[in-house]
Amino acid sequence: MAINKALTPVWMKALIIVLAFLFVAGIGFAGIGSIPGCGAGPLLPQPNAGIDTGASTGSVETTAELAAQYTQQITSLEASLTADPKNYDILVAQGENYLGWALQYATLTNSLPDTSSTVWASAISYFDRAIKIRATDGTVLGDYAMALFYSGETTAAIAAGEKSRTLDPTGAQNLYNLGNYYSAAGDTAKALEAYKACLTANSASASPNADLAQAAQTQITSLGGQ
């Protein structure tokens, strides 16, 4: 499923560039070692198509302020879910809220929330509920895979990432993330195949992402590929 870039939150576009720069430049996150597989490289976020859940962090300077922003958004959507608990779009938006919260936390602290954090568990829970209603959106499955991986569930992340690939075989972002999951699991051959597929998909895209291509090539080189 192609991303509608016109609807992608501005903060998410900026975050993709920031994360790519930090990792490709070899800086990385200070606390990244505690997250399974993150030493393999960046997991650049990809928002769900058409769902703008990004809170502007232009004036946010502390994690408490960030939490306050997202808590307000989450509380508002939760009221809607109470009235319509099987609303697919709202469930996905809530999952994206929690995922976005965690990733923006990273820009403030140079570390990701602990793997035991309820932020990850909540993102997984809402994505899981949405997927049980509609399991045909490759982008949502890709974001679900990311939340699983960051919570330490690498095997489950690979399974979700592969399902995303089946639904959206040209999704360069998911292919890159999938390479990271396989690398974390110690499967170098499948990691290399996924990174190379990412490069192919990205180059064929109407809007190739140079940062993503550089990150994928860096991983290929680090794993001894060409």
pLDDT of residue 11 exceeding 60: no
Is pLDDT larger for residue 12 or for residue 121? 121
- Range from 46-55, 63-72, 180-189 carrying the lowest mean pLDDT: 46-55
What tens digit of pLDDT does each residue of 86-136 get?
999 999 999 999 998 988 888 788 888 888 889 999 999 999 999 999 999
How high is the pLDDT of residue 47?
Answer: 46
Question: What is the rounded average pLDDT of the residues 173-177?
Answer: 93
| In the chain, % of residues over pLDDT 70 | 74
pLDDT of residue 215 exceeding 50: yes
What tens digit of pLDDT does each residue of 15-67 get?
443 343 333 333 333 333 333 333 334 444 454 444 444 444 456 789 999 99
Q: Which domains does the chain have, with CATH numbers?
A: 5-45+65-222 (1.25.40.10)
Residues 20, 22, 28, 32: is their CA dihedral positive or negative?
negative
Question: What is the rounded average pLDDT of the residues 142-169?
Answer: 94
Is pLDDT larger for residue 207 or for residue 29? 207
How high is the pLDDT of residue 168?
Answer: 94
How high is the pLDDT of residue 225?
Answer: 81
- Range from 33-42, 97-106, 207-216, 217-226 carrying the lowest mean pLDDT: 33-42
Is pLDDT larger for residue 14 or for residue 79? 79
pLDDT band with cut points at 50, 70 and 90 for residue 138? very high
122 close to 93: Cβ distance less than 8 angstroms: no
pLDDT band with cut points at 50, 70 and 90 for residue 13? very low
pTM of model > 0.75? yes
